Chain A
Amino acid sequence: MTGDRGADFEEFAQARSGQLLRTACLLTGDWHTAEDLVQETLGKLFRGWRRIRHMEAPVAYAHTTLVRTFLSVRRLKRSSERPSEVLPEPPPVVGADIELRLTLLQGLARLSPADRVVLVLRYWEDRSVEETAEVLRISPVAVRVRAKRALDRLRALLGAELVDLGMAC
């Protein structure tokens, strides 16, 4: 990569790495794994930077690349996660004992990767149903169904209220 393009990419990466890392945190639930994911994503963006820098929305492309890389779990070196549609869901947590309640990240981590991605795209990145469908390469109807299911599961894990769920990452 020539000097100008290299500097151009570094500037882009500096500006976006924080937000990419936040998204990665929500997806992975762990700071180290999130960094690995962002590192892998930056590598892909760097390889294709000649083309990406001229795109209409390189930032959106970067986040899409992050999400798709996350779904390709095999590429994460330190990830011990195994994709599974069925997770042993604990009984719903009720009551006001905050110490016993799962954090939001712990709750997200108990969802399947596909369910987690839909919630992060829809509620963290505020993408529309159609945009989410494009990223995941599924139909908008499937996005709505998956989002509803994921919300139901998350609510069952965290209880009805989303306050004081602690912080992580």
Chain B
Amino acid sequence: MSVRADERFERDLPDAMRSAVAEFRGPSPDLIERGIRRGRQQRRTRMAVGATVVAVLAVVLGQIGGSSVLDGAFGRSVDEQGPAAVAPTGRLPLGRELIPYLRTALPGGGRTDRFEPEGAAPVPGDSRISGTYTGPGGSTSLAVELTRPLPGSVEDLWWGAHCAPNAPPGYTCTRSPEPDGGTLTMSVGPVGTDGQRVSRQVVYTRADAVQVHVYVGAKALSAAVALGTTEMIAIARHPVWTRFGDDALPVDRNVFVGSDSPLPRAVKVGPASGTAPVTFPVTRVGRDDSVLTVRLRSTTSAVLTSCPPPDVDFCANVKSADGLPGVAHQAVVDGRVESRSLLVLRPGGRALYLEVRGDPTGAVGQPALTLAELAEVAGSPRWDG
């Protein structure tokens, strides 16, 4: 479709919407009365629940022997005790559970106000809260989110961890590797009329693919900068979030052993490292030495194998060798193919992610496996064990 047709469609959409509702029936005569009745009913329910919660907490705190003062929200009472140091868990915190962890990660001297969990999250299991942060430098809106997108999925490619190839004017984005094996993505919006950036976002993707998103803006509540980029990075990389780990399934380290290995015969594979994910060194004559990463995760969401809009040139919808839908990604930097990856939904609610990454100092500039070969590997029934 031509660009002009695109523009005409977008230009005509408001009028089309007005036409669609121009002759609608109008509200029922009793709609407002029903709304008021609903509001009174919700108010009575809320007061009853609140009273019960206060009573229960009073008993619990009495048994613990603490003297925490409830200040309306749960966050304050939990915060006084601080988040307990426990072993990493595969379960992400949801809603208000995030608040005490966020307070630990914030710079000293600041406070959070009116933090609320998000509505229906885009992907079930992800968690986000937003509210107002007030620090020595001023106040700003702040949102923090933990996600665990499957690498190569739409959620990974499009919700802040990667820089979109067609960023609008005034927006800048950088993505850089971190010494710990993760990546840091910083995106900055245009400058507003008050001289401050309209919005800033930092996404820290850990080596285990858990992402911490920190978003500041768009409405600065004071002229001063309440949270700079340095502080945002510190929040995203704070060790408090390491409590929440990946939920990858263990991978058989012998999956490429034997005469029926799904790898091409020309590829030699070395001993595995790790369990979830597992990495294998792979070599091949005429290609760069590479690392093949295999990650398995339970999922029921088919959305993860869709590519973004067709103007993105590094993603393609593909099928595995046994016909299962998937999405392939290829990263090219300065003419070198840096990595190739494939995400496929296997039967039984398993998502398989394969990534081959070539040695950046290799002479050839090509990883050891092609996308077609990754599709062959992904089509093996060995992954359904």
**CB distance B31 to A42 under 8 Å?**
yes
Stretch touching chain A among B163-171, B242-250, B251-259: B163-171
**Least Cβ–Cβ distance between A164 and chain B, in angstroms:** 9
With a cutoff of 8 Å between Cβ atoms, the chain A residues found around residue B158 in the complex are: 142, 145
Give bound CA distance, A125 to B10, whole Å. Answer: 14
Q: A45: CB under 8 A from chain B?
A: yes
Q: B35: CB under 8 A from chain A?
A: yes
Find the A residue at minimum CB distance from B25: A31
User: What are 24 A-B pairs with beta-carbon distances under 8 A?
Assistant: A17-B27, A22-B24, A25-B20, A38-B27, A41-B35, A42-B36, A43-B35, A46-B35, A84-B303, A104-B16, A104-B17, A104-B19, A104-B20, A124-B17, A124-B18, A134-B219, A140-B198, A141-B168, A145-B158, A149-B308, A149-B309, A162-B13, A163-B16, A168-B20
Q: A55: CB under 8 A from chain B?
A: no
Stretch touching chain A among B38-46, B54-62, B226-234, B377-385: B38-46
Known contacts A21-B24, A169-B21; A141 and B167 CB within 8 A of each other:
yes
Interfacial residues, chain B to chain A (CB-CB below 8 A): 1, 5-6, 8-10, 12-28, 31-32, 34-43, 46, 118-120, 122-123, 128, 130, 141, 143, 154, 158-160, 164, 167-168, 171, 173, 187, 189, 198-199, 201, 215, 217-219, 301-303, 306, 308-310
**CB distance A160 to B9 under 8 Å?**
yes
Interfacial residues, chain A to chain B (CB-CB below 8 A): 6, 9-10, 13-14, 17-18, 21-22, 25-26, 31, 35, 38-47, 68, 71-74, 83-86, 103-105, 113-114, 119-120, 123-124, 126, 130, 133-134, 137-142, 144-145, 148-149, 151-152, 154-155, 160, 162-163, 165, 167-169
**CB distance B32 to A40 under 8 Å?**
no
**Least Cβ–Cβ distance between B36 and chain A, in angstroms:** 5
With a cutoff of 8 Å between Cβ atoms, the chain B residues found around residue A84 in the complex are: 303
The list of the 7 closest CB pairs from A to B, nearest first, reads A42-B35, A46-B39, A43-B38, A85-B303, A43-B39, A169-B24, A130-B218
With a cutoff of 8 Å between Cβ atoms, the chain A residues found around residue B154 in the complex are: 85
**Least Cβ–Cβ distance between A158 and chain B, in angstroms:** 8
Find the B residue at minimum CB distance from A105: B20
Find the B residue at minimum CB distance from A68: B119
Query: How would you classify the secondary structure of chain A's contact residues: helix, strand, loop or mixed?
Result: helix
**CB distance B32 to A10 under 8 Å?**
yes
With a cutoff of 8 Å between Cβ atoms, the chain A residues found around residue B27 in the complex are: 17-18, 21, 35, 38
Give bound CA distance, A104 to B13, whole Å. Answer: 9
**Least Cβ–Cβ distance between A95 and chain B, in angstroms:** 15
**CB distance A126 to B309 under 8 Å?**
no
**CB distance B35 to A71 under 8 Å?**
no
**CB distance B42 to A43 under 8 Å?**
yes
**CB distance B160 to A142 under 8 Å?**
yes
**CB distance A137 to B130 under 8 Å?**
yes
Find the B residue at minimum CB distance from A146: B158
Q: Which of B12, B141, B189, B302 contacts A140 (CB 8 A)?
A: B189
| A-B contacts at CB below 8 angstroms, number | 185
Give bound CA distance, A139 to B217, whole Å. Answer: 8
With a cutoff of 8 Å between Cβ atoms, the chain B residues found around residue A14 in the complex are: 32
**CB distance A144 to B168 under 8 Å?**
yes
Find the B residue at minimum CB distance from A165: B16
Give bound CA distance, A165 to B15, whole Å. Answer: 11
With a cutoff of 8 Å between Cβ atoms, the chain A residues found around residue B12 in the complex are: 162-163
Find the A residue at minimum CB distance from B37: A43
**Least Cβ–Cβ distance between A114 and chain B, in angstroms:** 6
With a cutoff of 8 Å between Cβ atoms, the chain B residues found around residue A44 in the complex are: 39, 42
Find the A residue at minimum CB distance from B23: A167
With a cutoff of 8 Å between Cβ atoms, the chain B residues found around residue A26 in the complex are: 17, 20-21
**Least Cβ–Cβ distance between B152 and chain A, in angstroms:** 16
With a cutoff of 8 Å between Cβ atoms, the chain A residues found around residue B120 in the complex are: 71-74, 83, 113
Known contacts A26-B21, A46-B39, A72-B119; A152 and B309 CB within 8 A of each other:
yes
Give bound CA distance, A35 to B198, whole Å. Answer: 36
**CB distance A114 to B122 under 8 Å?**
yes
**CB distance A9 to B36 under 8 Å?**
yes
**CB distance B19 to A134 under 8 Å?**
no
**CB distance B143 to A137 under 8 Å?**
yes
**CB distance B20 to A47 under 8 Å?**
no
